[in-house]
Chain A
Amino acid sequence: MPLLITRKLTKSFGENRVLDGIDFSLDDGKVVSIMGPSGSGKSTLLRCLNLLEYADSGEIWFDGKLMGVQSTPNGPRRLSERAMQRQRLGIGMVFQQFNLFPHLSVMGNLVMPQVHTLGVSKADAMKEASLQLGRVGLADKTHAYPAHLSGGQKQRVAIARALCLKPRLMLFDEPTSALDPELVGEVLSVMKDLAESGMTMAVVTHETQFALDVGEQVVFMADGGIVEQGPSEEVLLSPKKQRTRDFLHRFRQTQEAAEKSEFRPENSSEGIAS
């Protein structure tokens, strides 16, 4: 049985229908890459999954439980904030802009959520924090403040911070889009290690190479709907839909143009299908 299932998920902002019946599922231990043009609703989908945004209709099943709503005889009704807080605990999220707490040191960023949401002791929290920092290769940055870290280091701290709460599912919203090209590799490699350790992940990304190497599944979205989904190779290398083909074609062109003008690091240098 899949860890995550969405059924006919819809979401509008005013008149703007941003999600229009999203159906997909993700098996335990698998990685899905969510791709698609800007404004297609990728971020909104992720935010609905961990209840940062509330879907208007449809269902999200996570770990066998219905997220964000309870059924009543009169239909589904939104849960209390407190109950949703508990449900969010199983899901970690990493943002494009890192969103580290700037007033806390790296250690503070990792310890504070553990102490205040899991209720573990400070000593245990610090032990766990050191462990996770080592895992993302930043054991030496324990006492630094976020303002003094590079973008790549910030994002790795953000990943470690989410992992400290021991989530079953990790959501990544364009984790490398705000990074200088030479810093993308270090974050992708941390994510790859994480995937290899068996973490279930949903990753919004434009890194096609990462989607091929690490992800089992690709969901291609446009205009709030899923245009095509399936195994990574199938969707990325031989897409069935014209929409997907056009997007990948245009995307590859801009990427090649970018590659001509600047150095790209090792693992993302090869274009796809070459």
Chain B
Amino acid sequence: MIASKIRSLEKKPWMSDMMDQSDREFADIRPRRHPGWYISAAFLIVLTIWFASSLAKNPNIDYETIGEYFTKDVILGGVVNTLLMAALSMVFAVIFGTLLAVMRLAGGPVWSAFSWLYVWFFRSVPLLVLIIFCGNLALLFERIGVAIPFTETFLFSVPTNSVMTAFVASIVALTLHEAAYMAEIIRSGIMSVDAGQRDASKALAMPAYKSFFLVIMPQAMRIIIPPTGSSVINTIKATSLVSVIAGSELLTRAENISATNLKTIELLLVACLWYLIIASVAGAAQYYLERRFGKGFTKSRQTAKVPVTQA
């Protein structure tokens, strides 16, 4: 239909065609039609309903158990532990990762090499291996504390197992691992900031650390936040790995329960639902952070409500 219209236009000499139209009203241009979108949506909806109904009718799933355990204290405690573990290791990883990134970029030859080695090592070691290692640290060092280097003389020490509980070991392992990734994310953020910004803050006689926190980092954040959001969600999921050392987070507790009542699938689904909820909340938080640090970069008209300074 559209094609035939074009053809009929082509038949006329274009000059006279333009003349004809010179004093007529022009209709608004409508957007293109996308029939394919509706077909794809219908296909996916049917597929989803089919899968959902086969789950719903599945005699192997006991929905009452799911409902019962979803809000049980043991499980809720596991959720809290998962959140605590992920939050603490992310906070430490961001701090440590920032340090590593700064070392790499401006720490001089020695610290720069150290940072490179750290990232190389902890990105190469599988997280699961690291977790098992930290969980069994007592097998390697019986006591930890402050000692005189290269001697066996402790100034102060405690049995390894008394501080390296499964929970602490999990946080240590997750932090060591995640810091390597955060270092790379933060380094790329810092490098994405235009060199002119550093020149300008130097020319304004700002000390290096102030220029870092007030000029470079706020701009690097725009680049840093999206991959960090993925890292947060990754870490939340990675906490489930510490079930191998009985980290007492969500999955460990779900597995402990199913070990006694044998409702394996039901308790896995309970854990799965909770991971979905936590990850969605984290995703929403990321959206708001991105908006916050996108300020001044978008072209939409906006002015500061009050004189804004980072002072």
B184-222 CB contact bits vs A (8 Å, 1 = yes)? 000000000010110111111111101000110011000
A143-162 CB contact bits vs B (8 Å, 1 = yes)? 11111100000000000011
Is B301 in contact with chain A by the CB < 8 A criterion?
A: yes
A75-113 CB contact bits vs B (8 Å, 1 = yes)? 000000110011011011101010111111101100111
Beyond A103-B295, A108-B304, whether A113 also contacts B206 by CB under 8 A is yes
Is A117 in contact with chain B by the CB < 8 A criterion?
A: yes
What total count of A-B pairs have CB within 8 Å? Answer: 118
Return B124 CB to nearest CB of chain A, in Å: 34
Return A162 CB to nearest CB of chain B, in Å: 7
Interface pair A116/B311, CB less than 8 Å apart: yes
Total residues of chain A contacting the partner, CB 8 A: 43
Is A165 in contact with chain B by the CB < 8 A criterion?
A: yes
B residues less than 8 Å from A146 (CB atoms): 296
Interface pair A103/B297, CB less than 8 Å apart: yes
Interface pair A126/B307, CB less than 8 Å apart: yes
Beyond A101-B215, A103-B218, A148-B301, whether A112 also contacts B310 by CB under 8 A is yes
Is B302 in contact with chain A by the CB < 8 A criterion?
A: yes
B residues less than 8 Å from A93 (CB atoms): 199-200, 203
B residues less than 8 Å from A144 (CB atoms): 303
Interface residues of A in 43-66 (CB under 8 A from B): 47, 50-52
A residues less than 8 Å from B295 (CB atoms): 103, 145
Q: For the complex, what is the distance from the CA of A184 to the CA of B269, rounded to whole Å?
A: 67
Is B298 in contact with chain A by the CB < 8 A criterion?
A: yes
Residue of A nearest to B195 (CB): A99
- The contact of A95 among B199, B207, B307, B311, by CB within 8 Å, is B199
- The contact of A88 among B203, B214, B296, by CB within 8 Å, is B203
Is B299 in contact with chain A by the CB < 8 A criterion?
A: yes
Q: For the complex, what is the distance from the CA of A162 to the CA of B245, rounded to whole Å?
A: 59
B residues less than 8 Å from A145 (CB atoms): 295-296, 302-304
Beyond A104-B308, A116-B206, A145-B302, whether A99 also contacts B214 by CB under 8 A is no
Q: For the complex, what is the distance from the CA of A112 to the CA of B215, rounded to whole Å?
A: 10
Interface pair A99/B199, CB less than 8 Å apart: yes
Interface pair A95/B200, CB less than 8 Å apart: yes
Return A56 CB to nearest CB of chain B, in Å: 19
Interface pair A86/B304, CB less than 8 Å apart: no
B residues less than 8 Å from A162 (CB atoms): 203-204
Jot down 22 A-B pairs with beta carbons below 8 A, ordered by A.
A52-B199, A88-B202, A88-B203, A95-B199, A99-B194, A101-B200, A101-B215, A102-B219, A103-B218, A103-B295, A105-B296, A105-B304, A107-B304, A112-B309, A112-B310, A113-B206, A115-B309, A125-B311, A147-B296, A148-B301, A161-B204, A165-B205
The 9 closest A-B pairs by CB, nearest first: A99-B200, A93-B203, A99-B196, A113-B204, A89-B205, A105-B304, A108-B309, A107-B307, A115-B311
